[in-house]
Amino acid sequence: MTLETPLVDRPTISPEHIQEAAENLSTIRDFIRFGVTALRQYDAHLGQGTEDYFAESSGLVLQTLSLDWNADAEILESKLLPSEKTEVLSLLERRINEKVPTSYLLNLAYFDGKPYYVDERVLIPRSPIAELIDNRFAPYFLDENGQTREAENNLPENPNPKTPQRILDMCTGSGCIAIALAYAFPEAEVDATDISKQALEVAAINAEHHNKQFEVALLESDLFSKIPAENQYDLIVSNPPYVDAEDMADLPAEFLHEPELALAAGQDGLDLVRKMLAQAADYLTEDGLIVIEVGNSEWAMRQNFNTVDFHWLTFQKGGTGIFALTAEQCRRYKDIFQQSIQN
């Protein structure tokens, strides 16, 4: 289910403007430039996979033409066929007038440098957790070669570092985090859970596409409810719903195409995180680690759990609102976390 788009006056691109572009533009470069101008002029909101209008327009045009997003400059001078012009401009018109995110128009999003199928059953991948996976959660874990990498993200030290053998990605959505973890730690068993059967259908498509269907086990579960108690994880990662009520009310129209179930998390955005933390200690190995993204709800975490010494992570490529806790911390603060779901 997606949120209803409010009926408000929004700038829309006219059929005449589209027709003018079709008649007067000819090259790939022309259409990328026109896309940049139109997206900016008609107030398209970014942040669902791209951060600037040029990247957004380039992705839309090049992917529609079945070209690599890093296409050589020479090919940008190639002319489009009339049918190709029609297809590109039709998608651009939907992007602007219906506010449909480009990733949904293309059924494509990139995470950790790899392509994933997406549609409106799942959130569009955009988590900074990709950088943690790239760095193999150093220095807490050894990498796939048994080596300790240099710390870059403010993760804690581990007195007994090892390569994680069992990993859980909770609220997996498209499956991109779980699949990226399977690439990073090829010897590990990766479990991926979601409450949404529809999201798991998308995750299954992606697991098969990346040939990880045997490394990534998909399970329909409301947080820990269907996970066997004997499952013990060296690493639990989650990018759960964490948008608070105030932010939900102010979301740009593009975000209303994403499933509400993957976004909304109560008044302060922490409904699911509280439940996770209350049970995390029961599912972590002795030296396990849990990493959770809470985005803009970081302020609520700091306010509600001001006695908990979270490791707030830093990112070279940008991003905030992600914390880590060791298994020892989860055990130490377990009473606080359990009390938080009883209040």
Q: What average pLDDT does the segment 196-200 reach?
A: 96
Q: Which residues contact 246 (CB under 8 A, 6 or more apart)?
A: none
Query: With pLDDT > 70 as the criterion, what percentage of the chain qualifies?
Result: 92
Whichever domain contains 205, its CATH number is 3.40.50.150
Whether residues 193 and 307 fall in one domain: yes
Query: With pLDDT > 90 as the criterion, what percentage of the chain qualifies?
Result: 75
Binned at pLDDT 50, 70 and 90, residue 5 comes out as very low
| pLDDT over 80 (residue 310) | yes
Give me the count of residues in the chain. Answer: 343
Q: What is the DSSP string of 293-337?
A: E-GGGHHHHHHHTTTS--EE---TT----EEEEEHHHHHHTHHHH
Short-list 108, 99, 118, 110, CA closest to 42: 99
- 220-249: pLDDT as tens digits: 999 999 999 899 999 999 998 656 667 666
Distance (Å, whole) CA 293 – CA 82: 45
Binned at pLDDT 50, 70 and 90, residue 117 comes out as very high
Whether residues 328 and 214 fall in one domain: yes
The pLDDT assigned to 186 comes to 95
The more confident residue out of 191 and 241 is 191
Considering 50, 77, 106, which residue would you say is the last residue of a domain? 106
The pLDDT assigned to 129 comes to 96
User: Residue 112 falls within a domain, yes or no?
Assistant: no
User: Residue 191 falls within a domain, yes or no?
Assistant: yes
Quick one: which H or E segment has residue 170? strand 166-170
Phi first, then psi: what are they for 33, rounded to 5°?
-60, -45
Whether residues 199 and 89 fall in one domain: no
The pLDDT assigned to 7 comes to 43
User: Residue 301 falls within a domain, yes or no?
Assistant: yes
Binned at pLDDT 50, 70 and 90, residue 143 comes out as confident
Mean residue pLDDT of the chain comes to 90
Q: Which residues contact 198 (CB under 8 A, 6 or more apart)?
A: 121, 122, 259
User: Residue 87 falls within a domain, yes or no?
Assistant: yes
| pLDDT over 50 (residue 184) | yes
| pLDDT over 70 (residue 27) | yes
The more confident residue out of 335 and 3 is 335
Whether residues 157 and 272 fall in one domain: yes
The pLDDT assigned to 247 comes to 65
| pLDDT over 70 (residue 275) | yes
Whether residues 281 and 150 fall in one domain: yes
Whether residues 48 and 134 fall in one domain: no
- 255-270: pLDDT as tens digits: 777 776 665 456 676 8
State the Cα angle at 108 between 18 and 2, rounded to 5°.
80
| pLDDT over 90 (residue 195) | yes
The pLDDT assigned to 2 comes to 45
- 34-71: pLDDT as tens digits: 999 999 999 888 877 777 999 999 999 999 999 987 87
Whether residues 30 and 134 fall in one domain: no
The pLDDT assigned to 323 comes to 97
| pLDDT over 70 (residue 1) | no
User: Residue 312 falls within a domain, yes or no?
Assistant: yes
User: Residue 115 falls within a domain, yes or no?
Assistant: no
Whether residues 245 and 290 fall in one domain: yes
- 120-130: pLDDT as tens digits: 999 999 899 99
Short-list 142, 92, 200, 183, CA closest to 150: 142
Strand 114-116 to 109-111 pairing: antiparallel
Question: Could you tell me the residue range of the domain that residue 24 belongs to?
Answer: 15-106
Judge whether 248 and 301 are in contact, CB under 8 Å: no
Whether residues 92 and 143 fall in one domain: no
Whether residues 172 and 66 fall in one domain: no
The pLDDT assigned to 104 comes to 93
The total number of structural domains in the chain stands at 2
User: Residue 7 falls within a domain, yes or no?
Assistant: no
Judge whether 316 and 277 are in contact, CB under 8 Å: no
Phi first, then psi: what are they for 256, rounded to 5°?
-75, -10
- What's the predicted TM-score (pTM) here? 0.92
Whether residues 211 and 322 fall in one domain: yes
Considering 41, 75, 106, which residue would you say is the last residue of a domain? 106
